[in-house]
């Protein structure tokens, strides 16, 4: 069993990938909560509920925004580690996602403190649908990469 730098990388990414999966599942639950307004339809006309609903939407958006940067940083860290460990195949697999994250980050609206999830535009079914699809795709990707890292970790530990 050779404890190389590559093996160490894979061990670390395995653990952090679990946290990424956790973030994405949080995203999915948040979008589901935004989409459903669990109240009696007559009650929805009640003006006192408007403030509650608005605060709910803002709370969820604030939470989502807080998750965005840690997720991108962790994924960026993965790519950096694979670069240093010379694991080119794994780096190649993660590169498209890295580029996508960079594009999303630099294309956010330049509105001062606004991030990617904005209370006024989040309830648009188009955008909500897009965010949900994105979350599901990422979940699939992170799950697959979790198992891939597990396999690679065992492989690098055993093979040298």
The token pair that represents 153 in the structure block: 């970790």
The token pair that represents 160 in the structure block: 């040298």
Interacting residue ranges for another protein, rule: CB under 8 A = 35, 37, 41-48, 50-51, 53-55, 57-58, 109-114, 119-121, 123-126, 128-129
Query: What single string gives the DSSP state of each residue in 63-78?
Result: HHHHHHHHHHHHHHHH
Q: How far is the CB of 124 from another protein (least distance, A)?
A: 5
Q: How far is the CB of 148 from another protein (least distance, A)?
A: 36
**62 phi and psi, to 5 degrees?**
-60, -45
Q: How far is the CB of 61 from another protein (least distance, A)?
A: 11
Rounded to whole angstroms, how far apart are CA atoms 73 and 151? 24
Q: How far is the CB of 125 from another protein (least distance, A)?
A: 4
Residue with smaller CB distance to another protein, 133 or 160: 133
Return the percent helix, strand and coil in the chain, to nearest 5.
80, 0, 20
Residue with smaller CB distance to another protein, 51 or 106: 51
Rounded to whole angstroms, how far apart are CA atoms 147 and 155? 12
Q: How far is the CB of 99 from another protein (least distance, A)?
A: 19
Rounded to whole angstroms, how far apart are CA atoms 90 and 39? 47
- The sign of the CA dihedral 107, 110, 111, 115 is positive
Residue with smaller CB distance to another protein, 4 or 134: 134
Residue with smaller CB distance to another protein, 50 or 158: 50
Residue with smaller CB distance to another protein, 120 or 154: 120
């Amino acid at each position: 069993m050779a404890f190389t730098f590559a093996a160490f990388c894979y061990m670390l990414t395995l653990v952090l990938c679990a946290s990424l999966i956790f973030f994405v599942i949080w995203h999915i639950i948040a979008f589901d909560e935004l989409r459903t307004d669990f109240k009696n339809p007559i009650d929805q006309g009640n003006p006192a509920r408007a403030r509650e609903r608005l605060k709910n939407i803002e709370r969820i958006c604030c939470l989502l925004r807080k998750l965005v940067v840690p997720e991108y940083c962790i994924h960026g860290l993965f790519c950096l580690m694979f670069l240093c460990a010379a694991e080119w195949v794994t780096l190649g697999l993660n590169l498209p996602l890295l580029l996508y994250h960079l594009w999303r980050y630099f294309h956010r609206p330049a509105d001062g403190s606004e991030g990617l999830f904005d209370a006024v535009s989040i309830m648009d079914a188009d955008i909500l649908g897009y965010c949900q699809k994105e979350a599901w795709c990422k979940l699939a990707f992170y799950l697959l990469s979790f198992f891939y890292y597990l396999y690679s970790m065992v492989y690098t530990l055993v093979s040298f």
